[in-house]
Amino acid sequence: MTIKILGTGCPNCKRLEANTKKAVENLEVDAVVEKVEDIPSIMKYGVMSTPALVIDDIVQFMGRVASSDEIAGLIKSQIPGLTP
């Protein structure tokens, strides 16, 4: 699983990155967390408000910071077998 944080380096983007890393650590899933700061790459996702969270190339939300609990929920819903 590849998780991308799209953001231009604003404080909110850094907070989202930290929350995401925490969620991945807590869940102990095999996931790569990647920060995307390059504007053309961000624009490819059709995102206009940063930060945004992308899991396996699907934009989950944009323009806000989510808590690590919420991100954990999103990650879990992507793993078959883990979904209740």
Taking phi first (over 0 means left), then psi (-120 to 50 degrees means alpha), and beta for anything else, what does residue 26 get? alpha
The active-site residue, picked from 3, 5, 6, 13, is: 13
Instruction: Give the nearer residue to another protein in terms of CB position, either 25 or 38.
Output: 38
Q: In this structure, what token pair is assigned to residue 10?
A: 């604003």
Q: In this structure, what token pair is assigned to residue 70?
A: 């919420």
Smallest distance from another protein to CB 20, Å: 16
Tell me whether residue 10 is one of the annotated catalytic residues: yes
Query: Could you list the residues that contact another protein (CB under 8 A)?
Result: 7-10, 12-13, 39-40, 42-50, 54, 57-60, 62-65
Residue 19 burial by CB count (10 A; 0-12/13-18/19+): exposed, middle or buried?
Answer: buried
Instruction: Give the nearer residue to another protein in terms of CB position, either 50 or 68.
Output: 50
Residue positions annotated with a catalytic role: 10, 13
